[in-house]
Amino acid sequence: MSDPSEQPPEERGEGRPVKRRPKRSVSPPAFAAVLLALAIGGVLAWLAVSADKSALPTEEAINATLTVDLGDEDSEAPPEHEDAEDEADSAAKSEPPQSDEHEAKTETAHDAAVPSAKSAADHAATAEEDEQHGAKEDTTATLKIPLVAPRTIKEVVALALPDPTLLQETSRGALPIIGPDGREPWREYGRKMPPAGDMPRLAIIVTGLGLSSAATETAIKLAKEVTLSFTPYGADLETDVAKARGAGHEVLLDLPMEPISYPADDPGPHTLLTSLNPSDNIARLEWLLGRFKGYVGVINFMGSRFTVSPESLRPILHALKERGLMFVDSRSTSKSVAAGLAKQMGLPRALNDRFLDHEPTRGAIDQSFAEAEGTARARGVALVVARPFPVTLERLAAWLPMLESRGIEIIPVTALADIQVNR
């Protein structure tokens, strides 16, 4: 089509008279009637929409008609990562635990065998939000929300008081002995546990207690299944140990043994030394055993030189067996022969799988927690050792309550007696 400005005047309608139509005006009454009709129509439309919405259930009505499915009492553990089995096997094959003496190279960090506590909590929160979002969308159906059964609050039962018939009074203190009726201290002073079920089991020992009152009090507040081990050099051991046992904790004695770096690193007076003859070491052992009562056994503190010397170890382990005690090999060195010798002579023993806080930082401790879970899942049982650093106790307090929901059972150390494979 051409530009209108280029058309002839007659085609544009120019030169012809233009007839103008008269303007129509709307009377005020008619205009008012139109406005009134529109207002009435708007009110009727609003009432119709409100009536439709009232037919839908409100959020309160939805919540009031919930039905709760309590069919399964056991809580569901958060889903495992698709590589959980491979990672658990990797954790099971990890290097021996590292010592406080830094004698072994730092272990290579494995991929976590299970999600960390934080990631598991985030995953659970996301799943819950998704479930609630879906519930709001489906307002016409009856909602069924499976609830996690609350964790049973287990009553704290104090352990048996020290039995005079299981004690021998000596110049070095009251020493544990096997009773006339054959009762052994490691059994009598331990927690009574039900038979093992299908859940992986994990024992946790916190060592070095008794020197710091704050750390000791914090450790005693941990779950009663945690085993507490006390140094022989504490100022108020009888009181501290009585509190720990009154709270339901099994108790061990830290047994100082010679490290490779001795005397630069000295575990303290009465340390068992490879340079001493057996009678001198037995005298030192008896002094150490007489510091307090009610313990189930001992765990070596340091000892990377002493625990690789069968000649030095045998008299000590034999004395522990004769007194009805248990021995825990902290495995300050991978070359330790202590657990193997204990098994040969029938001395109840357990083996440390990992030091939780070889690197005492939150990130490293959380990683160790995850690897400890992986070891327990892969082997069925595991034992870990921690020291009373503030960060360690803080992470333990946060981690322990989640273990049960993650399918791990916490057990005292006596429940592991003689069931671990020597490594």
- DSSP per-residue string spanning 45-99: HHHHHHHHHHTSPPHHHHHHT-EEE-S--SPPPPPPPTTHHHHHHHHHTPPPPPP
Domain ranges of the chain: 164-416
Cβ–Cβ under 8 Å, residues 283 and 270? no
pLDDT over 50 (residue 47): yes
How confident is residue 290, by pLDDT bands cut at 50, 70 and 90? very high
pLDDT over 50 (residue 3): no
pLDDT over 50 (residue 102): no
What is the reported pLDDT for 404? Answer: 84
The residue that leads in pLDDT, 11 or 301, is: 301
What is the C-alpha to C-alpha distance for residues 396 and 417, in angstroms, rounded to an integer? 23
What is the C-alpha to C-alpha distance for residues 367 and 82, in angstroms, rounded to an integer? 18
Q: Looking at residue 272, what DSSP letter applies?
A: B
Cβ–Cβ under 8 Å, residues 375 and 382? yes
Mean pLDDT of 118-146: 41
Q: How many CB atoms lie within 10 A of CB 386?
A: 25
How confident is residue 38, by pLDDT bands cut at 50, 70 and 90? confident
Determine which of 1-5, 141-145, 325-329 has the lowest per-residue pLDDT on average. Answer: 141-145
pLDDT over 50 (residue 64): no
What is the C-alpha to C-alpha distance for residues 104 and 96, in angstroms, rounded to an integer? 9
Q: Which residues pair with 411 in a beta bridge?
A: 203
Rounded to the nearest integer, the mean pLDDT of the chain is 78
What is the C-alpha to C-alpha distance for residues 109 and 89, in angstroms, rounded to an integer? 14
Is the CATH number of domain 164-416 3.40.1410.10? Answer: no
The residue that leads in pLDDT, 97 or 190, is: 190
Q: Would you mind telling me the total number of residues written for the chain in this entry?
A: 423
The residue that leads in pLDDT, 17 or 36, is: 36
| pLDDT tens sequence across 152-205 | 445 556 788 999 999 999 999 999 999 999 999 999 999 988 888 889 999 999
pLDDT over 90 (residue 351): yes
Q: Record the pTM.
A: 0.67
C-alpha distances out from residue 179 to 175, 183, 252, Å: 12, 5, 19
What is the reported pLDDT for 25? Answer: 54
Strands 167-170 and 173-176, by their bridges, are antiparallel
How confident is residue 96, by pLDDT bands cut at 50, 70 and 90? low
What is the C-alpha to C-alpha distance for residues 250 and 159, in angstroms, rounded to an integer? 8
How confident is residue 353, by pLDDT bands cut at 50, 70 and 90? very high
The residue that leads in pLDDT, 405 or 207, is: 207
